[in-house]
Amino acid sequence: MTSMIDVVFLLLIFFIVTTTFQRPEREVPSSIVVNEKDATNELSVLEPAIIDVTLQDQQVLFQIGAVQTSDLEKIVSILKDFENKSEGAFVRPAGNVPFEAAAQAIGACKAGGFSTVSYLPLD
């Protein structure tokens, strides 16, 4: 019995000595260095690509900003001119729009060079 107690104490000492204690994550200093003076001066003036898909008089209309058209090729050419393609595009179809029209808008975003497209129904 005495030798078992010795072994337990030796194991306890071994684990205490070999254990590395880490600080909680909230106490770890950040390695990101931010120059607040430069960060406040650089505001993004780029607007995200948002395509609204609506149905008027049984005709599907696609709208980007002030441009409203039913021509998908025009939408693709507008999307190709966007500079901030890394932020992705957003397709917002109205509730009465057929799914095919929303899928065409998503395809137009992909053809316009956007790698990520989000589907955000309005209704």
- How much is the pTM? 0.61
Q: Which tokens in the block code for residue 24? A: 């909680």
pLDDT of 100 higher than 80: yes
Distances (CA, A) of 24 to 10, 28, 49, 109: 28, 7, 41, 44
Instruction: Please give the share of the chain, as a percent, with pLDDT higher than 70.
Output: 84
Model confidence pLDDT, tens digit, residues 46-72:
678 899 999 999 899 999 988 999 999
Residue 7: predicted pLDDT: 92
Confidence of residue 38 (pLDDT cuts 50, 70, 90): low
